[in-house]
Amino acid sequence: MQIGDVSVEAIYDGVMRAPATVFYRGTDEQQWAPHQRFLDADGMMRFDLGGFLVRGPGNSITLVDAGLGPRSGLVRDGAGTFQGGELLNSLASNGVKPEDVTNVVFTHLHFDHIGWATNEGQIVFPKATFRCHAHDLEHFRGNERVQPIMDPLADRLETWSDSGPLLPGIDVMNAPGHTPGSTIVVVSSGTSRALLLGDVVHCPVELLDDEWAGVGDVDPELAKRTRTALTRELEGTDTPVAAAHFPGLVFGRLLAAQGRRNWVVD
Site string for Zn ion, 80-119 (x = CB under 5 A): ------------------------------x-x-------
Q: How far is the CB of 107 from Zn ion (least distance, A)?
A: 9
Shorter beta-carbon distance to Zn ion: residue 35 or 178: 178
Span interacting with Zn ion, options 1-9, 64-72, 192-200, 254-262, rule CB under 5 A: 192-200
Site string for Zn ion, 140-179 (x = CB under 5 A): ----------------------------------------
Q: How far is the CB of 103 from Zn ion (least distance, A)?
A: 20
Binder of Zn ion out of 48, 199, 206, 217 (CB under 5 A): 199
Shorter beta-carbon distance to Zn ion: residue 199 or 206: 199
Span interacting with Zn ion, options 75-83, 168-176, 191-199, 230-238, rule CB under 5 A: 191-199
DSSP the chain: -EETTEEEEEEEEEEEEEEHHHHTTT--HHHHGGGGGGB-TTSEEEEEEEEEEEE-STT-EEEE---S-S--S-EEETTEEEE---HHHHHHHTT--GGG--EEE-S---HHHHTTSEETTEESSTT-EEEEEHHHHHHTTT-TTTHHHHGGGGGGEEEE-SSEEEETTEEEEE-TTSSTT-EEEEEEETTEEEEE-TTS-SSTHHHH-TT---TT-SSHHHHHHHHHHHHHHHTT----EE-TTSGGG--EEEEEETTEEEEEE-
Q: How far is the CB of 127 from Zn ion (least distance, A)?
A: 26
Q: How far is the CB of 244 from Zn ion (least distance, A)?
A: 6
Shorter beta-carbon distance to Zn ion: residue 86 or 112: 112
Q: How far is the CB of 47 from Zn ion (least distance, A)?
A: 8
Residues that bind Zn ion (CB under 5 A): 110, 112, 199
